[in-house]
Structure 1
Amino acid sequence: MSRGPAGFSGTGCCLTVPPCGPAAQYRIHGPKRNGWLLARIISGVALVLAFAVLLVPLAVYAGPPVVKALSGTPAERQIAVPSYQRPPSELSPNPVVQPLDPAAPLPDPAALAAALDAELALAGSGTVSAVVSDALTGNVLYERDPDAAGMPASTLKILTAAAVAATLDPGSRFETTVHAAQSGDETVLTLRGGGDVLLGSGASDEDAVVGRAGLTTLAREALQAIGDGAGTVRVQVDDTLFSGPALSPAWSEADVEAGEIAPVYSLAVNSAWVDESRQAGERTDDAALAAGDAFRNALASAGSGAGITVADGVERGALPSGAREVASAESATVAEQIQQMLLVSDNYLAEALARSAAAASGQEASFEGAASTVAAEVSRLGVDTTGLALADVSGLAAENSVTAAQLAQTVRKVLTSGNESLRPVSRGLPVAGLTGTLQGRYSDGAAAGLVRAKTGTLSAVTALSGYVTDADGRLLTFALVARNLDGNTAEARGAVDAAAAVLAGCGCR
Structure 2
Amino acid sequence: MKFRVLGAVVAVAAGFSLTSSGGAVAVGNEALTADLDAILADNALKGADVGLVVRDANSGEVIYTRQSGRRSQVASNLKLLTTTTALDLLGPDHRWKTELVSSGTRSGAALNGDLVLRGGGDPTMSRLRYQQLADTLKASGVTTVNGALVVDDTKFDATPYGTGWAWDDEPYSYSAETSALTLSPDAKFSAGTVVVRVKPGAAAGAPAVVTTEPANDHVQVVSTATTGNAGISVQREHGTNRIFVSGSTSVETTALSTVKDPTGLVTSVFQKALQASGITVTGGVKRQKAPAGAAVLATDTSMTLGELVKPLLKDSNNMLAEVLVKTAGGSFTNGVNQLSTKWAGLGVDPNAVEVFDGSGMSRLDQFSPDDLTSVLVKAKTKPWFAAWQASLPVAGVDGTLVNRMKNTPAAGNVKAKTGSLSGVSGLSGYVTTQAGRELVFSVVQNNVLLFNSPRAIEDRIAVRLASEGGAVAPQVQSVPQQRKAPAQERTPVPAKERVDVECSWIGTC
**Is the CA contact 1:382–1:413 (under 8 Å) kept in the aligned structure 2?**
yes
2:431 is matched with which residue: 465, 468, 493?
468
> Structure 1 residue 114 and structure 2 residue 34: aligned?
yes
Q: Number of paired residues?
A: 379
What does residue 136 of structure 2 align with? 221
Q: Which amino acid aligns with 1:390?
A: V
Deviation at 1:279?
12
Q: Which amino acid aligns with 2:376?
A: V
Distance 1:405 1:302, change over 3 A: same
Distance 1:199 1:185, change over 3 A: closer
Deviation at 1:409?
0.8
**Is the CA contact 1:239–1:288 (under 8 Å) kept in the aligned structure 2?**
yes
Q: Scaled by the length of structure 1, what TM-score is found?
A: 0.69
Distance 1:312 1:119, change over 3 A: farther
Q: Residue 445 of structure 2 aligns to a residue in which SS? A: strand
CA distance, structure 1, for counterparts of residue 254 and residue 429 of structure 2: 23
1:273 is matched with which residue: 174, 177, 193?
193
1:407 is matched with which residue: 372, 393, 404?
372
Deviation at 1:340?
1.7
1:336 is matched with which residue: 286, 299, 307?
307
CA distance, structure 2, for counterparts of residue 150 and residue 279 of structure 1: 36
Deviation at 1:322?
5.3
Measured against aligned partners, the alpha-carbon deviations of 1:180-227 in whole angstroms (never above 9, x if no partner) come to: 34499865221111121111111xxxxxxxxxxx11111100222252
CA distance, structure 2, for counterparts of residue 279 and residue 389 of structure 1: 37
**Is the CA contact 1:201–1:216 (under 8 Å) kept in the aligned structure 2?**
yes
**Is the CA contact 1:186–1:234 (under 8 Å) kept in the aligned structure 2?**
no
**Is the CA contact 1:259–1:280 (under 8 Å) kept in the aligned structure 2?**
no
Deviation at 1:384?
4.0
What does residue 75 of structure 2 align with? 153
CA distance, structure 1, for counterparts of residue 319 and residue 377 of structure 2: 26
Deviation at 1:321?
4.7
Deviation at 1:486?
2.9
What does residue 89 of structure 1 align with? none
User: Superposition pairs for residues 351-390 of structure 1, below 5 Å?
Assistant: 351-358=322-329, 365-385=330-350, 387-390=352-355
- Structure 1 runs of 4+ with >6 Å offset: 276-280
Deviation at 1:507?
1.2
Measured against aligned partners, the alpha-carbon deviations of 1:412-432 in whole angstroms (never above 9, x if no partner) come to: 1112x1x31344432211111
**Is the CA contact 1:120–1:496 (under 8 Å) kept in the aligned structure 2?**
no
- Give the RMSD, CA atoms, in angstroms: 2.6
Q: Residue 269 of structure 1 aligns to a residue in which SS? A: coil
1:296 is matched with which residue: 260, 271, 274?
271
**Is the CA contact 1:189–1:236 (under 8 Å) kept in the aligned structure 2?**
yes
Distance 1:281 1:166, change over 3 A: same
Percent of matched pairs sharing the same residue: 32
> Structure 1 residue 323 and structure 2 residue 288: aligned?
no
Name which of structure 1's ranges 122-131 and 456-465 shifts more when overlaid on structure 2. 122-131
Measured against aligned partners, the alpha-carbon deviations of 1:381-433 in whole angstroms (never above 9, x if no partner) come to: 33345520112221011111000100011011112x1x313444322111111
Deviation at 1:477?
0.3
User: Superposition pairs for residues 152-171 of structure 1, below 5 Å?
Assistant: 152-171=74-93
Q: Which amino acid aligns with 1:170?
A: P
Structure with the higher strand share, 1 or 2:
2
Gaps of 5+ in 1: 1-105, 203-213, 359-364
CA distance, structure 1, for counterparts of residue 255 and residue 84 of structure 2: 24
Q: Residue 275 of structure 2 aligns to a residue in which SS? A: helix
CA distance, structure 1, for counterparts of residue 59 and residue 342 of structure 2: 22
2:257 is matched with which residue: 282, 285, 307?
282
CA distance, structure 1, for counterparts of residue 393 and residue 326 of structure 2: 24
Measured against aligned partners, the alpha-carbon deviations of 1:356-405 in whole angstroms (never above 9, x if no partner) come to: 123xxxxxx21111222333312133334552011222101111100010
CA distance, structure 2, for counterparts of residue 126 and residue 174 of structure 1: 42
User: Superposition pairs for residues 144-223 of structure 1, below 5 Å?
Assistant: 144-182=66-104, 187-202=113-128, 214-223=129-138
**Is the CA contact 1:279–1:344 (under 8 Å) kept in the aligned structure 2?**
no
2:43 is matched with which residue: 112, 115, 123?
123
1:500 is matched with which residue: 458, 462, 475?
462
What does residue 406 of structure 2 align with? 443
> Structure 1 residue 485 and structure 2 residue 448: aligned?
yes
Distance 1:130 1:225, change over 3 A: same
Measured against aligned partners, the alpha-carbon deviations of 1:258-314 in whole angstroms (never above 9, x if no partner) come to: 3322221113212112127999832222122222322221111111xxxx3246974
Deviation at 1:109?
3.7
Q: Residue 395 of structure 2 aligns to a residue in which SS? A: coil
**Is the CA contact 2:150–2:287 (under 8 Å) kept in the aligned structure 1?**
yes
**Is the CA contact 1:195–1:353 (under 8 Å) kept in the aligned structure 2?**
no
2:174 is matched with which residue: 248, 260, 271?
260
1:241 is matched with which residue: 152, 155, 176?
155
CA distance, structure 1, for counterparts of residue 285 and residue 369 of structure 2: 46
Distance 1:165 1:185, change over 3 A: closer
Q: Which amino acid aligns with 2:428?
A: S
Q: Which amino acid aligns with 1:266?
A: A
Deviation at 1:161?
0.6
Distance 1:377 1:231, change over 3 A: closer
Q: Which amino acid aligns with 2:257?
A: E
User: Superposition pairs for residues 386-401 of structure 1, below 5 Å?
Assistant: 387-401=352-366
Q: Which amino acid aligns with 1:291?
A: V
Deviation at 1:450?
0.4
CA distance, structure 2, for counterparts of residue 316 and residue 444 of structure 1: 55
**Is the CA contact 2:172–2:256 (under 8 Å) kept in the aligned structure 1?**
yes
The higher radius of gyration belongs to 1
Deviation at 1:332?
0.5
Structure with the higher helix share, 1 or 2:
1
CA distance, structure 1, for counterparts of residue 275 and residue 118 of structure 2: 18
Q: Scaled by the length of structure 2, what TM-score is found?
A: 0.69
Deviation at 1:137?
1.3
